[in-house]
Structure 1
Amino acid sequence: MSEKRVLTIILALFLVLGGIYALKTPVFEASDELWHYPMVRHLADGNPLPVQVFDPAQAGPWKQEASQPPLYYYLGAALTFWIDTSDMAQVRRLNPHVDNGLITEDGNINLVVHDPMANPWQGTLLAVRVVRLFSVLLGAVTVYLTFRIAKEALPNRPDVALGATAVTAFTPMFLFISGAVNNDNLIVPLAGLALWLMVRLVRSDVVGAHDRGQLVLLGVVIGLAALTKISGVGLLALAWGTAVLRRWQREKRPSAWGKLFVVVGRGTVDWLLILLPALAVAGWWYYRNVVLYGDWKGWNAFIAVLGQRAHPASLAQLWGERWGFMMSYWGLFGGVNVPMPLWIYRVLNSVVVVGVVGFLVFLGREVQGWRWRERPFPAQILVLVERYFPLVLSLLWALAIVYGLINWARVTWSSQGRLVFSALPALNTLLAVGLVGWLPQRVGRVVMAGLGLFLLGVAALAPFLWIAPAYALPLADDVKLAQPLDVVFGERMRLRGFELSDLAVLPGDSLEVQLAWEAVAPMSRDWSVFVHLNDPVLERPIAQRDMYPGQGLWATSLMQPGERVVDRYVLHVPETAVAPANLELVVGLYDFATGERLLLADGRDAVRLADVQLTAVPGAYPNPVQVNFEDELVLVGFEVLPRRVAAGESVTVTLYWQVKRPLSADYTFFAQVVDEDTTRWAAQDLAPTEGTSAWQVGEVYPFTMTLALQADTPPDIYPIIIGLYTRTPDGGFDRLQILTEDGRLTDDFLQLTLLRVE
C-alpha cells in the first residue's frame, strides 16, 4: 500500500474517532472544558476580554483561563456567535462534591450534572459540540504535520513517518483533548507548523524575496501560536537558531571564527523578519498583561485563581508523580479521573523506555566514524545540526516544553502529561526514530504497524468501555439489599435498604456502604446524601462521603417520583483514627447551598444505620502507624489524652519515633491545634534534650508534648497537626516532608487526629 494511501487512512480514522470522542464525552466532562468554554461564550456574546481578578472566589466561570492568550476563544466565538446559549447556567450545573483529579472506587467523577432529557443539538450543548468538532479538525492538522516533520527527519524511512503519524493520531488522550473545547487544540498544530516551516527554511534552496517571505510567514505563525498559549513564545528562540543556520548555509558554510561571528550577526538580522511579525500579531496581548497585572506572562493572576502548592516541589517530588503524569499523557479522561486499565499504561510506558534506549542507539550509530577533526568544532557542530536538523529541532522543542512544564509543576499542581502536547509531533517523531530508526526497514514496518494498531484498538474502545460507562446512571428498580428499610426524609426521598461490607474496621481500612433510594415526590432542590462514620467522643465524623444520588450523576431535582437508584459509598478510615472505638454509621440528606437537612417524621435529621467497631491495629505502641518523614524518622505510634477538653485545659501528645538512618541534624518537633483559618489555639515546639543526632538507627523514642489551649478557644472540632524541622541559616524553618510508599514527597505536616473543645 502506498505511503499516501496509508496517510489518508490514518487521517480518516482520526477524524472518525475524534468525532466519536467529541460526541460521546458528556459536555464539560473533558479536561478544563468547564472553564475554557465560558471564555468562548463570553466573547461570542460580544463582550470584551475579561480582566482577571486575584481572588478565586470572585473569578468568572472561566476561572484561570481568562489569563490565557485568547486566539482559540475568538475562533470558537466566531463559529458559535449565532447560537443562543442563554441556557449555559442550566447546562453547566456544577457537581459540588466532585472528586476532580481523583480516581475513586465509588464514582462521583462528574464535574457537572447532566439532564438526560436535554436536546444535545440546541443551545449551549450545540455550541460546545460545534467548537469540539472544530477542534477535531485542528487535531487532523496536527496529525498531518507529524507526518511532514517525521518525513523530513528520515526521508527514506516511510515506516518512521507513518509510525509517528499513527502514534499521534491514535493516542487516546490526544483524541480526547481533540474532541474537547481546549486551547491546546490550536497551539499543537501551530507549533507543529512552525517547526515544519523552520525545517523547510533550512532544507530549501530558495533565496531572495521568496526566502524572506518564508521568514515573515514563520513569524506570523509563531505570533499566532503566542496568541494561543504562552508556550508559543518559546518558538522564537528556535527560530533564531534556524535563522542563524540558514544564514550560515547562504554564506557557503564558513568555518573560521571571524566569519562565524558575522554569520550570527546577519542571522540575527534575518531573525528580525520573524520577530517583528510575531510581535505585530501577539505583542498587544503581552503588553496588556503588563498594564493590567504587571507581569508580561500574566502568571501572577493565573496562579492566584488556580492556586499553588504550599511549597515548591523538588525534582524528586515531581519524579514521584511520574505515574500520574504518564497516565494523563496516554489517556486519563474526564476531570483527570476516568482511567483505562493499568496494564495499558504499563505497555505504553515500556514502549517509551524502549524508544529512549533505541534513540541513543540510533545516535551512536549515526555519529560513529564521524570525522570530528576535519573542521573547527563550531563548524562541525553546525554541519551536524544541518544534517539532522529535523531531529535536533524536535529534540530542542520537546526539551523546552518539558523544562517549562517542570518549572510550572513545581509551583502548581500540574503534573499532567497532556500539558506537553504542544510538542506532540516532535515527541512522536523522536519516539518513532528511537523505536525503529536503527532497525531494518522491513522490521520497522512491523513494529510501527503493531504499535499503531494497538493504539488504534485502545483508542476505538475507550469511548465505549471507559468514558461513556463512567457517566451512565446506575438505575435499579428491583435490587434488594440485605437490610430492608422504609425511612422517608421530608416526604421527598425514601431509603429502602442498606448493606455494609463489614461491621468492624481497622484504622486505614475502607468501609463500603450500599444505599437504595427512591424519589417519593418531585423536588425543586438538589439534595446531597451524606454518609458519616461518627466518633462518639468527638460527636463528629472521622470518615464521610457526600454526593448526589446516582454516584453523583443525578440531581434530585431531575428525579421523578418512583425512580430508584442503588448507590455505593466508600468511606476511608484515617490511618490516624484513634482505636478502639465504637463508631456510629449515620445517613441523611442536606442542601449543599444552605446546609439545611431533610427531616424524618420524628424530627431527626439523620438515621443511624449501624454500629461499626474500630479495632486497634496490633502493635507495640498505641495507635500504630507508619508515617515516613523523608527517610529520616518514621512515626510508628501516637497517643492523645484527653481528646475532649474545655478551653484553657491541656492535652498531652505522645509521639513514638523510629530512626530510619543516622541523623546528622537535631530536629525540633512541633504540635499545634489549628482551625480552618490556620489560627493556632495551642502550640508547642520542643527538641529532645540530647538532640536527635544522638538517637540510634532502628530504635524507637517516645516523645511527649503538652498543648495548652488558650482560654478563649471557641468550642469546635480541631485537628492536631505535628511535624519536625530544623532552622535555616537565615532563621527560617526547614520542615521534613512526608514520603509516601511510592516515593512521592507530600505535606510537611501530619494531621494526627481530631480534638473536641467544649
Structure 2
Amino acid sequence: IKQAIMGLFLLLGLTYAYVTPPFEASDELWHYPMIQYLAEGNPLPVQVFDPALAGPWKQQASQPPLYYYLGAALTFWLDQSDMDAVRHLNPHVEPGVLTSDGNRNLAVHDPDASPWQGALLAVYIVRTASVLLGLATVYLTFRLGRLLLPDRPDLALVGMAVLAFTPMFLFISGAINSDNLIIPLAAWACLLMIQLVATPPQTAAARLRRYGGLGIVIGLAALAKIPGTGLLPLALGTAFIESWHRLDRPVTLRELLLVARATVASFLWLLLPALLIAGWWYWRNVQLYGDWRGWSAFIAVLGQRSQPASLGQLWDERWGFMASYWGMFGGLNIALPTWAYYLLNALVVVAVPGFLVYFLPRIWRWWQAIRLPAQPLAKAIKGLLVGVTAFFPWVIALLWCAAIIVGLIQWATTTWSSQGRLVFYALPFLQILLVTGLLGWLPRPAGRSIGLGFAGLLFGLSCLAPWLWIRPTYQPNLGCGTPTHAVDQLYGDQIRLIGFDGDLATAHPGENLNLRLYWQVTAPMVTDWSVFVHLNDPVLQIPVAQRDMYLGQGLLATSFLQPGDCVENEYTLHIPETAGAPAELELVTGLYDFDTFTRLSTNAGTEVARLASLQLEPRPGVYPNATEVNFGDKFLLVGYELSQRRARPGESLTLTTYWQPLAPPAGQYTFFAQVLADFGGSNTRWAAFDNTPPEGTMSWSTDEVYRVELPLQLAEGAPAGILPIIIGAYTRTDEGGFANLQLVTADGRLSNENLWSLTQIRIDE
C-alpha cells in the first residue's frame, strides 16, 4: 500500500507539474528568476527596499538560497536568456481574487513557444525535481506516523495518503517553490530527533555521528527557508531529553547539572555543522539589512497591512486560510468547488475534539502506571521528564506545529499572508494529527473505512483538479458569434470592434454590469494592447467603474494574434455601492499600451468608442444613496447625500450621513469626513470636519436612524482634480488617543481598514 500511495503521488505530482502552465503556480514567477540568475553564474542579488526597483524575483531575493542553488545546479547547462520573452506577465491579473470574467492568469503564454528548450525547459526540470522532493515528504510522513502511532500502522498509512493526495500539496509539489525543500528537511530533522530519544546512542562515536547528522539536516533546512531555524530549539530540547534518558540519573540538582553539561556538549556539536552550512547567509543579512532574517527588506518589497491585524481579524480570514490549505490554485484565484471546502473543514472540526478523546485517556493511563518520588519537587520534575520521554514523538509533533502556526500568526499580523500553505512546513505532522483526531478514537474497522473514504475524497479531488479547474482556466477561445449591437469601429488599422452584447438600460450602485465585446484582428500587431471598458461619470469626468484586461479573458496578447482572428471578451464592471445616483453614465471602450499608457486611436480620430448611455438609479431605500457600510459592528452607514459634486478652492459643501446603531453604544463616538489628496506618499487634508452628536451616541437607539451633517470647507490651496471623501468614526481612549472603528466586510469579517472612501468630488481651478 505504501508503494502504491507513493506511485500515485508521483503520477499526480507530475500531472500538476506539466498541466499547470509555466509561472502560473503561486509565487513561481518570482522563484524561477532567482534560479535563472544563479544559473548564469551570478552571486546572490542584494535586495532593495523599493518594490519598483526590485528585480524579477521581487521579495524572493530575501529567501534563503539553497533551493535556488539546487535549481541552478540542475539547469546551468541550459541557455535561459529567453526568460524575459517567455515570462510575459499579465499586468491586469488580480491574485487572490476569484473574478467572474476570467483574467486569472499570472502570465500570457505564446502558443508557438517550445517547452523543450531554454527557460521553459528549465522550469519543467525544476518542477520535476520538486515533485521528487514531495515524494520524499510522503515517505517521511509514513515514517513519522509509525513513530507516533506504533500500534496503528493503518493510521500511519491513512496519514501518508491524506498528505499525498491533498490537492494544494500536490499543486505546490509540482511548482517551483522553495517550500518543497524545507518540508522534507524539517520532517527528516524531526524524525532524527525522535529516533535519538527512542534509541539513544550508546557510544561517544555514535553520539557524534548522530548529532552531527542532525546538525547537517537542520543546517540545510535553515538554508532552505527561515522557519528551518526553528528546529534548533527543538534540537536543544531533544539533546536534554536524550541525555537524561541515556544517563538515567535520579532527580537531584547535581545529576541534572551533569545532564545539562551533556546536553550543551551535544547541542554545540550539532550546532557546528548547522552554522557552517547556513550561518553565512544569516550573517550576510545582518551586514546588508541590519536584521538576521532580512525581513526588513522582504516586507519593504512584499508590502504590508496598513495597520497590524488583530487575532480577531486573522480569525475572520480563516475561510481563505483553509481554502489555500486544501486547494487554491493559480495565483490563489482558482478554487475547488465550495462544497469541498465545507466538507473538508467539517472533518477538521470533528478531528480537534477527537484528538483529545484519543490522547487524554492514554496520558491518564500512563500517569496511573508510573512510579514517582515522594518529594513534591522531585516528583514534578521527574514526572515531567518521564512524560516528555514517553510521549516524545507527540511532543515534537505538537511543538513543531505550534512553532509554525505561531510564526505564521506573527507574519500574517504584519503582511497579507493568511495562507494555509504557509503551515505546510509542518504538514506531515498536521495531517497525522488530523487523521488521529478523526479516526483514532473510533473502532478500528470503522476508522479504516472512514479513513479510506477520506483519502479517496482527496484523491478524487486531486485527480479532477488539473483537468476540471486548472487547465480550462488557461484555454483561450478564438472565434466570434454575432453581436446584438453592431459597432464597426476600427482602431489604428489594426483591430476592429465589431459589436457588443449587454443589458445597458439601467443599473444601481452595488450591481455588476456584464458586457461582451467582439473584436477582429485586421493587421499584425507588435504592441500588446490592453482593452479598457469605462463607465464614465460626466460630472466628475472619470470612470465610476472600469475593467482592463488583455483579450481572451486576459490570455491573449495582441502580438500573438493574426489577421482574421476573432475574439469574444466578457467584462464585468462593479459599480461601487456608494456611487452617486441618479446619474446618466456613458459606457466607452478603447485600447492602450500598459507600459506607456499610450492609447490606440480609432480611425475616426477619437481615443474611445462610445457604446451606450446608462441610467444609474438610486438603490431602493428610505435614505438617499442607500448603502450598508458596517463600522466595527457598532454603526451602520445606511445612506448619504452630498450637496454638490464639483467645487472650487475655498468653497463649502455639506455631506449628510445617516447612521443606525447596530448595538447600544457603550461610549461617545465622533463621526468625521475628510477630503484627501496624496502627495509624495503622505495624505494632505484639504477639508475636514468632526461631529460629535450633541445628544451623545450613548443615548442612541438601535431602532432609529440618525442624521449627522459634516460640512466641509475646502482650503484655498486645494489642488484641482479628483479627490476622495473619506469617512469614519472614533472614540477617545483613556490616554487621549483616537480609537477608530474598523470596517466589517459584508460577510462579517473584520477588515484591516478604519476609513471608508465614500465618494469623490472634482475640484476645479
1:411-430 matched pairs, under 5 angstroms:
411-430=414-433
Residue in structure 2 matched with residue 244 of structure 1 by the alignment = 240
1:150-169 matched pairs, under 5 angstroms:
150-169=145-164
8 A contact 1:202–1:246 mirrored in 2? yes
1:270-349 matched pairs, under 5 angstroms:
270-349=266-345
- Distance across 1 between alignment mates of 2:299 and 2:737: 24
Amino acid at match of 1:708: Q
- Distance across 1 between alignment mates of 2:342 and 2:261: 49
Aligned-residue identity in percent: 57
- Whether 1:119 and 2:121 are equivalent positions in the alignment is no
Residue in structure 1 matched with residue 389 of structure 2 by the alignment = 386
8 A contact 2:497–2:518 mirrored in 1? yes
Residue in structure 2 matched with residue 592 of structure 1 by the alignment = 594
Amino acid at match of 2:642: V
Instruction: Point out the more displaced range, 730-739 or 582-591.
Output: 730-739
Amino acid at match of 1:156: D
Pick from 149, 167, 176: which aligns with 1:172? 167
8 A contact 2:659–2:708 mirrored in 1? yes
Deviation at residue 265 of structure 1 after TM alignment? 4.1
Q: For structure 1, list consecutive stretches of 5 or more residues without a partner in the other structure.
A: 1-5
Residue in structure 2 matched with residue 462 of structure 1 by the alignment = 465
Instruction: Point out the more displaced range, 479-488 or 389-398.
Output: 479-488
Amino acid at match of 1:360: L
- Distance across 2 between alignment mates of 1:173 and 1:384: 36
Residue in structure 2 matched with residue 638 of structure 1 by the alignment = 640
- Whether 1:706 and 2:702 are equivalent positions in the alignment is no
8 A contact 1:248–1:254 mirrored in 2? no
Instruction: Point out the more displaced range, 257-266 or 25-34.
Output: 257-266
8 A contact 2:633–2:663 mirrored in 1? yes
Q: Secondary structure in 2 aligned to 1:132?
A: helix
Deviation at residue 385 of structure 1 after TM alignment? 2.1
- Whether 1:679 and 2:692 are equivalent positions in the alignment is no
- Distance across 2 between alignment mates of 1:670 and 1:301: 36
Amino acid at match of 1:539: Q
How many residues align? The count is: 752
Deviation at residue 731 of structure 1 after TM alignment? 4.9
- Distance across 1 between alignment mates of 2:347 and 2:249: 39
1:532-564 CA-to-partner distances (Å, cap 9, x unmatched) read 111222121111100010001111111111111
8 A contact 1:394–1:429 mirrored in 2? no
8 A contact 1:157–1:441 mirrored in 2? no
Instruction: Point out the more displaced range, 450-459 or 386-395.
Output: 386-395
- Distance across 1 between alignment mates of 2:685 and 2:605: 37
Residue in structure 1 matched with residue 698 of structure 2 by the alignment = 693
- Whether 1:750 and 2:747 are equivalent positions in the alignment is no
Deviation at residue 697 of structure 1 after TM alignment? 3.3
8 A contact 1:86–1:123 mirrored in 2? yes
- Distance across 2 between alignment mates of 1:502 and 1:164: 54
8 A contact 1:110–1:553 mirrored in 2? yes
- Distance across 1 between alignment mates of 2:604 and 2:247: 93
Deviation at residue 663 of structure 1 after TM alignment? 2.0
8 A contact 2:659–2:707 mirrored in 1? yes
1:60-107 CA-to-partner distances (Å, cap 9, x unmatched) read 111111111110001101111111011111111111111111110011
Residue in structure 1 matched with residue 376 of structure 2 by the alignment = none
Q: Secondary structure in 2 aligned to 1:182?
A: coil
- Distance across 1 between alignment mates of 2:703 and 2:276: 65
Pick from 368, 371, 376: which aligns with 1:374? 371
Residue in structure 2 matched with residue 445 of structure 1 by the alignment = 448
1:649-668 CA-to-partner distances (Å, cap 9, x unmatched) read 22211111111222232223
8 A contact 1:222–1:232 mirrored in 2? yes
Residue in structure 1 matched with residue 30 of structure 2 by the alignment = 35
Pick from 579, 582, 585: which aligns with 2:581? 579
1:109-128 CA-to-partner distances (Å, cap 9, x unmatched) read 11111101100111110011
Pick from 613, 627, 630: which aligns with 2:629? 627
Residue in structure 1 matched with residue 524 of structure 2 by the alignment = 522
Amino acid at match of 1:686: N
Alpha carbons of structure 1 residues 240 and 441: separation in structure 2 relative to 1, 3 Å = same
Amino acid at match of 2:310: S
Deviation at residue 158 of structure 1 after TM alignment? 1.6
8 A contact 2:691–2:708 mirrored in 1? no
Residue in structure 2 matched with residue 268 of structure 1 by the alignment = 264
8 A contact 1:640–1:651 mirrored in 2? yes
Instruction: Point out the more displaced range, 321-330 or 482-491.
Output: 482-491
Deviation at residue 38 of structure 1 after TM alignment? 0.7
Instruction: Point out the more displaced range, 327-336 or 152-161.
Output: 152-161
8 A contact 2:200–2:242 mirrored in 1? no
8 A contact 1:248–1:263 mirrored in 2? yes
Pick from 52, 59, 76: which aligns with 2:54? 59
Amino acid at match of 2:40: D
Residue in structure 1 matched with residue 476 of structure 2 by the alignment = 473
Pick from 403, 410, 413: which aligns with 2:413? 410
Q: Secondary structure in 2 aligned to 1:675?
A: strand
8 A contact 2:691–2:709 mirrored in 1? no
Deviation at residue 256 of structure 1 after TM alignment? 4.3
Q: Secondary structure in 2 aligned to 1:664?
A: coil
- Distance across 2 between alignment mates of 1:611 and 1:197: 70
Residue in structure 1 matched with residue 557 of structure 2 by the alignment = 555
- Distance across 2 between alignment mates of 1:531 and 1:114: 23
8 A contact 2:212–2:269 mirrored in 1? yes
Amino acid at match of 2:713: A
Amino acid at match of 2:671: F
User: What TM-score do you get using the length of structure 1 for normalisation?
Assistant: 0.97
Alpha carbons of structure 1 residues 211 and 444: separation in structure 2 relative to 1, 3 Å = farther
- Distance across 2 between alignment mates of 1:85 and 1:495: 38
8 A contact 1:95–1:552 mirrored in 2? yes
Instruction: Point out the more displaced range, 287-296 or 381-390.
Output: 381-390
Deviation at residue 484 of structure 1 after TM alignment? 2.6
Residue in structure 2 matched with residue 495 of structure 1 by the alignment = 497
- Distance across 2 between alignment mates of 1:694 and 1:244: 62
Q: Secondary structure in 2 aligned to 1:374?
A: coil
Amino acid at match of 1:749: L
8 A contact 2:545–2:573 mirrored in 1? yes
- Distance across 1 between alignment mates of 2:27 and 2:381: 45
Residue in structure 2 matched with residue 223 of structure 1 by the alignment = 219
Residue in structure 2 matched with residue 3 of structure 1 by the alignment = none
Amino acid at match of 2:524: P
Q: Secondary structure in 2 aligned to 1:365?
A: helix
Deviation at residue 212 of structure 1 after TM alignment? 2.4
Deviation at residue 193 of structure 1 after TM alignment? 0.3
- Distance across 2 between alignment mates of 1:101 and 1:364: 40
Pick from 611, 616, 619: which aligns with 1:617? 619
8 A contact 1:289–1:297 mirrored in 2? yes
Residue in structure 1 matched with residue 730 of structure 2 by the alignment = 725
Q: Secondary structure in 2 aligned to 1:368?
A: helix
Deviation at residue 503 of structure 1 after TM alignment? 2.2
Q: Secondary structure in 1 aligned to 2:138?
A: helix
Instruction: Point out the more displaced range, 202-211 or 554-563.
Output: 202-211
Amino acid at match of 1:613: Q
- Distance across 2 between alignment mates of 1:369 and 1:483: 78
Deviation at residue 480 of structure 1 after TM alignment? 1.7
Q: Secondary structure in 1 aligned to 2:224?
A: coil
Instruction: Point out the more displaced range, 572-581 or 401-410.
Output: 572-581
Instruction: Point out the more displaced range, 606-615 or 78-87.
Output: 606-615
Deviation at residue 159 of structure 1 after TM alignment? 1.3
Residue in structure 2 matched with residue 149 of structure 1 by the alignment = 144
- Distance across 2 between alignment mates of 1:501 and 1:390: 63
Instruction: Point out the more displaced range, 723-732 or 346-355.
Output: 723-732
Residue in structure 2 matched with residue 95 of structure 1 by the alignment = 90
Q: Secondary structure in 2 aligned to 1:303?
A: helix
User: What TM-score do you get using the length of structure 2 for normalisation?
Assistant: 0.96
Deviation at residue 377 of structure 1 after TM alignment? 2.2
Q: Secondary structure in 2 aligned to 1:29?
A: coil
- Distance across 2 between alignment mates of 1:695 and 1:203: 66
- Distance across 1 between alignment mates of 2:701 and 2:454: 53
Q: Secondary structure in 2 aligned to 1:227?
A: helix
1:429-467 CA-to-partner distances (Å, cap 9, x unmatched) read 111211222223332222221111111111111111110
Amino acid at match of 2:597: G
Alpha carbons of structure 1 residues 100 and 161: separation in structure 2 relative to 1, 3 Å = same
